[in-house]
């Protein structure tokens, strides 16, 4: 942690974000639910999609691009779950859908569904984790407006359409995998711009003329590059069909109002939840997943881990030592506080978790 970074108490951050959203007109309970997801995202080390997104979310709420008084609602048709986000913060829409799927999965083997009319949902792994912590398997993918293209493209061709899944692991933390179809999430470029970085790594993005770039601003104006070339595009197309076409939403291309992720509450998603109790039985499922994860860890070296273990360790550490934030982000949060009438007076912590002065 460098001298420009300080650590802040996660509970205090949750309270402040709740107040900030409430100051934008979000119902207190909804504000608290969204804040909980956002802060846990940062606790688990996914800093690009956690507290760093609060300024953008507040801007969207104040501009009416995300509806403060939205009420996400679920319905069923032919055994398929649908959640209409009603323009809400994505943390509310996605959590509402996942809770409904988890509840229905208590009585059936698999529940599949879509989410529509939602704000940006952040890190999808957090919603899959909600199911895995209840002993269920979950998959979720989100369609984003076009921000990704292959080299040479002169316009954004398709979303970087993230995918996440989670499995419960008996005696261990859930296995949670979360990835964008782009080589890295666009949030990394946003972070580089916020931090005024001189360059980003080669291979992340192309500029508006389709040429490779390491300039964060040119990357922001251009397109993200897919992971593994055409394979990343293929995954993005899978998500486009499931989370986009199947959701019934109208298609919005790169020139539409919702061109930037999180800009307008037009995000959509596809998810499913599986209850092993109703498929192979809990005992058989637990026996197999315990065996293969143990084998994987045993043969993969002393530093081996499966997806989700590092995030769980990070969460434990940050619950004690606080969430690190750079000075630029803290300055943005102070500006947010001024706008919504709730000053950013959040407890700072020392390396050992004690309260820091100032």
- Percentage of the chain surpassing pLDDT 70? 95
* Mean pLDDT (whole number) for 117-144: 97
Q: Quick check: 172 and 231 in contact, CB under 8 A?
A: no
* pLDDT above 60 for 358: no
pLDDT value at position 254?
63
Q: Which residue has the higher pLDDT, 1 or 9?
A: 9
Residue 2 has a pLDDT of 44
d(CA 233, CA 182): 8
Domain ranges of the chain: 5-180+232-349, 183-225
Is pLDDT above 70 for 3?
no
Per-residue confidence (pLDDT) for residue 10, from 0 to 100: 97
Q: pLDDT tier at 16 (50, 70, 90 boundaries)?
A: very high
CA 266 to chain centre: 16
Report how far apart, in Å, the C-alpha atoms of 45 and of each of 42, 48, 96, 151, 310 are: 5, 9, 23, 30, 9
Is the pTM for the entire model greater than 0.85?
yes
- The per-residue pLDDT for 357 is 55
On whether the CB atoms of residues 187 and 204 are closer than 8 A, the answer is no
- Residue 116: CB partners within 8 Å, gap ≥ 6? 82, 83, 84, 85, 247, 248, 249, 268
In the predicted model, what is the mean pLDDT of residues 9-19?
97
Question: pLDDT tens-digit profile of 137-148?
Answer: 999 999 988 999
Minimum mean pLDDT range among 1-5, 93-97, 242-246: 1-5
Predicted local confidence at residue 160, as pLDDT: 93
Q: How confident is the model at residue 125 (pLDDT cuts 50, 70, 90)?
A: very high
Instruction: Tell me which long-range contacts 206-209 makes (C-beta under 8 A, separation of at least 24).
Output: 206/149, 206/151, 206/152, 206/153, 208/154, 209/154
Given a contact cutoff of 8 angstroms between Cβ atoms, the answer to whether 304 and 170 are in contact is no
pLDDT digits (tens, 9 = 90+) for 286-338: 999 999 999 999 999 999 999 999 999 999 999 999 999 999 999 999 999 99
Mean of the pLDDT values across residues 103-116? 97
* Domain 5-180+232-349 sits in CATH 3.30.1370.60: yes
The DSSP secondary-structure symbol of 237 reads H
Q: What is the pLDDT of residues 65-75, one digit of tens each?
A: 999 999 999 99
Least confident of 221-230, 271-280, 318-327, 344-353: 344-353
pLDDT (tens digit, 9 = 90+) per residue, 242-300?
999 999 888 876 654 333 444 468 899 999 999 999 999 999 999 999 999 999 999 99
Average pLDDT over residues 107-125: 96
Helix (H, G, I), strand (E, B) or coil at 113: strand
Say what the alpha-carbon torsion angle 55, 57, 58, 63 is, to the nearest 10 degrees. 120
Superfamily of domain 183-225: Hypothetical oxidoreductase yiak; domain 3 (3.30.60.50)
What is the structure's pLDDT at 281? 98
Cα distances (angstroms) measured from residue 204 to each of 22, 64, 111, 168, 227 = 36, 32, 36, 32, 9
Average pLDDT, stretch 95-123? 97
Determine the pLDDT at residue 265. Answer: 83
> For the ranges 82-86, 121-125, 186-190, which has the lowest average pLDDT?
186-190
Q: Do 83 and 74 touch, CB atoms closer than 8 A?
A: yes
The Cα 168–Cα 265 span in angstroms is: 31
Report the mean per-residue pLDDT for the chain. Answer: 93
pLDDT (tens digit per residue) in 35-50: 999 999 999 999 999 9
Region 233-239: mean pLDDT is: 97
State mean pLDDT over 23-39. Answer: 97
8 A C-beta contact, residue 18 and residue 341: no
Q: Which residue has 């899944």 as its token pair? A: 165
Per-residue pLDDT at 261: 45
Q: Where are the beta strands (DSSP E) in the chain?
A: 5-8, 73-77, 80-88, 110-118, 137-143, 163-167, 175-179, 205-206, 212-213, 223-224, 267-274, 323-326, 348-349
The string of pLDDT tens digits covering residues 184-218 is 988 899 889 988 899 999 999 999 999 999 999 99
* DSSP label of 93: H
For the chain, the C-alpha Rg in angstroms (whole number) is 20
């Amino acid at each position: 942690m460098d001298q420009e970074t300080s650590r802040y108490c996660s509970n205090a951050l949750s309270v402040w974000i709740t107040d900030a959203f409430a100051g934008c007109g979000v119902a207190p309970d909804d504000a608290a639910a969204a804040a909980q997801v956002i802060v846990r995202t940062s606790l688990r080390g996914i800093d690009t999609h956690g507290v760093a997104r609060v300024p953008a979310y507040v801007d969207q709420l104040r501009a009416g691009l995300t509806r403060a008084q939205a009420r996400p609602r679920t319905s069923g048709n032919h055994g398929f779950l649908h959640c209409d986000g009603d323009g809400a913060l994505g943390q509310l829409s996605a959590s509402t859908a996942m809770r409904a799927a988890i509840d229905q999965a208590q009585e059936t083997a698999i529940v599949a569904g879509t989410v529509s009319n939602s704000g940006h949902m952040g890190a999808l792994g957090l919603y899959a984790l909600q199911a895995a912590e209840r002993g269920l398997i979950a998959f979720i993918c989100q369609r984003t407006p076009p921000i990704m293209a292959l080299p040479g493209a002169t316009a954004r061709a398709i979303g970087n359409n993230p995918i996440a899944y989670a499995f419960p692991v008996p005696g261990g933390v859930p296995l949670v995998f979360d990835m964008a179809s782009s080589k890295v999430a666009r949030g990394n470029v946003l972070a580089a711009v916020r931090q005024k970085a001189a360059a980003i790594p080669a291979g992340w993005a192309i500029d508006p003329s389709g040429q490779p770039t390491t300039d964060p601003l040119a990357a922001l104006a251009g397109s993200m590059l897919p992971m593994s070339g055409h394979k990343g595009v293929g995954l993005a197309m899978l998500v486009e069909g499931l989370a986009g076409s199947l959701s019934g939403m109208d298609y919005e291309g790169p020139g539409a109002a919702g061109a930037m992720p999180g800009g307008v509450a037009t995000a959509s998603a596809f998810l499913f939840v599986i209850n092993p109790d109703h498929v192979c039985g809990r005992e058989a499922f637990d026996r197999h997943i315990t065996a293969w994860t143990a084998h994987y860890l045993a043969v993969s070296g002393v530093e081996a881990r499966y997806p989700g273990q590092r995030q769980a360790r990070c969460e434990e550490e940050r619950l004690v030592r606080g969430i690190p934030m750079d000075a630029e982000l803290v300055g943005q949060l102070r500006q947010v506080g001024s706008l919504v009438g709730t000053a950013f007076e959040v407890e700072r912590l020392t390396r050992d978790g004690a309260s820091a002065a100032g």
